[in-house]
Amino acid sequence: MARAAWWGEPDAEVPVVLDWLDFTDFDAAVHLLRTAAWRAEFSLLTPPGWRDRADVAEEVAERIQAVEAVGLEFLVERYFYDWTPEHGLPSKPGLLTFRPEPDDDVVLEVFRRIHVGSLDAHVRRTVEEHGLDAAAREDLDILRGMPGPRDWWRLAYAREGDLVGLIAPTRNPHAHVVGYVAVVPEHRGHGYAYDLLVETTHELTGHGAERIVAGTDVANVPMAAAFAKAGYPVRAHRIDLV
């Protein structure tokens, strides 16, 4: 009548996300979620254009109603990208210089700067609830916990030497990942997100990537435009409730 699956790291004591929910009986689904041992963010994957397909839109609405009935609230809808070489490797604009930064304290300070005025809903929520330092530490810890090598990360600088942003190419257990691409507040509005994404793509393909996955909030229009310009196709949408 209802089934759910939670996902977490292999050695974790609690899951980080409710990864799957389907049911033939709405009340059974609500009961299942209410009596489960865990509470976690719900991430619902949908096909692109799901609102235009009545059958899919109905299933999405039912799942959202079920998790809302146990106290979860809508946070954000995100694009989920899946790049492969046949989509074309974009040429580097050549406007920025990229340098490794091995000191985590330096990178943490860059995250603090990046998170000021961020368009990312998860970042904004963490900043509002726990502060800027907590949001910066959370993203650093997430990236450090991924299996991709730390020395793939780069800081980006303008020709004048000013810090422009950060890229964190990495891997998850299944594919290469655009772990993080972000521009510091004083350099936003100049299209640098595209430069950072292109450099990330080249970095990952240089390490043998035949597939690169990525995501950004639907409301993050500048970043979504950078992904479209770089040839990253939208494979799915992801709706997050917390």
**pLDDT value at residue 12:** 84
What are 53's two structure tokens? Answer: 């397909």
Task: Tell whether 135 is covered by a domain.
Answer: yes
CATH of the domain at 167: 3.40.630.30
Q: Among 48, 72, 96, which residue terminates a domain?
A: 72
Q: pLDDT value at position 135?
A: 97
**Do 56 and 98 lie in a common domain?**
no
Q: For the segment 66-120, what is each residue's pLDDT rounded down to a tens digit?
A: 999 999 999 999 999 999 999 999 999 999 999 999 999 999 999 999 999 999 9
Could you give the percent of the chain with pLDDT greater than 70? Answer: 100
Instruction: Please say which residue of 20, 47, 72 terminates a domain.
Output: 72
Mean pLDDT value across residues 28-43: 96
pLDDT at 23 over 90: yes
- Considering the domain architecture, whether residues 90 and 29 belong to the same structural domain is answered as no
The answer to the question of residue 112 being in a domain is yes
Residue 26 is predicted with a pLDDT of 98
pLDDT digits (tens, 9 = 90+) for 185-211: 999 999 999 999 999 999 999 999 999
pLDDT of residue 43: 96
Please give the pLDDT value at position 173: 85
Q: String of b and e for 169-197 (b: at least 16 CB within 10 Å)?
A: bbbeeeebbbbbbbbbeebbeeebbbbbb
Tell me what pLDDT residue 9 has.
80
Residue 234 has pLDDT above 90, yes or no: yes
Q: Are residues 105 and 204 in the same domain?
A: yes
Look at residue 8 and tell me whether its pLDDT is greater than 90.
no
| pLDDT reading at 10 higher than 90 | no
Say if residue 111 is in the same domain as residue 46.
Answer: no
Average pLDDT over residues 25-37: 97
Q: Which pLDDT score is estimated for 185? A: 97
Distance, in Å, from the CA atom of 44 to the CA atom of 240, rounded to the nearest integer, reads 6
Same domain, 26 and 139: no
- How high is the mean pLDDT of the chain? 96
Q: Answer for the pair 183, 165: CB distance below 8 angstroms, yes or no.
A: yes
* Whether 149 and 191 share a structural domain: yes
Q: Say whether both 55 and 171 belong to one domain.
A: no
What was the pLDDT predicted at 210?
96
Residues 96 and 42 in one domain: no
The answer to whether 195 touches 183, Cβ cutoff 8 Å, is no
pTM, whole model, 2 decimals? 0.93
Confirm whether 229 is domain-assigned: yes
Domain of residue 42, residue span: 2-72
Kindly list the distances between the CA atom of residue 60 and the CA atoms of 21, 73, 202, in Å, as whole numbers in the listed order. 10, 14, 36
Q: Collect all residues with Cβ–Cβ distance below 8 Å to 14 and sequence separation of at least 6.
A: 8, 38, 40
Percent pLDDT > 90 in the chain is 94
Burial class (CB in 10 A: 0-12, 13-18, 19+), 13: exposed
Residue after which a domain boundary falls, among 47, 72, 97: 72
HSE value, Cβ hemisphere, 13 Å, CA-based, for 155:
19
Same domain, 115 and 221: yes
Residues 222, 144 within the same domain? yes
Q: How many domains does the chain have?
A: 2
pLDDT beyond 90 at 11: no
In a domain, 79, yes or no: no
Q: Which of 241, 238, 229 is nearest to 48 (CA)?
A: 238
Do 92 and 205 belong together in one domain? yes
